[in-house]
Structure 1
């Protein structure tokens, strides 16, 4: 396992663990490494000091900060996004790429109205808005595209 310090295009800093350097590269090449704070996919490795150990290694000047379990949010925004994901999972149905069709069918009365979330291409979202169908973007990625 390898831990990387990462930074997104919005200047959010966070850490994540990967099976290997090659695993990180493969995920990053596919756009599957996302910011833990904003969900952005423009993520790069940040500079970090290497961890060196051995008999010749000098004693650290100060004790390192206690490690934070990765299951705990590092930033209040990350905590809010996690709460939003949990709320959606409990109170809404994920319909994936069928979002536009499902929203339209409910709006036209062809399907029972229910809370849904999913994915829509920009032109699909624009068409829904032009048809008067209320939608809103969510600041999270679909379940299969999260770290």
Structure 2
């Protein structure tokens, strides 16, 4: 897993996880990496300092929690994100765009959802002010369902 700091053409800054640098290049080249704020697919990597692990210990990701920092291996982080999605989000499949729009418009009860949608549908949702963003493949729950 690799985390990139990204910036879109409108200077919105965000981070995203990819299984490898080639995965980022492939997804960006196909227009699949988009800004979660404006939906632009004109996204570039920012300069980042590499995380280097020495041979005596495994690479860790540090995240703040109440009571102090916690070290989590990248594999554990992926499993925690997948478990969180399974436990807290409703899978709506290919109905994602319709469900997200209905929730946004108050036609359905507010809840956390995930599912599949096309790039064009995501762009339309963004234009309408409906918040959604694709999830890196590694974070998709093991059921094979893709999060937006």
More strand by share: 2
Bigger Cα Rg:
1
TM-score by length of 2: 0.46
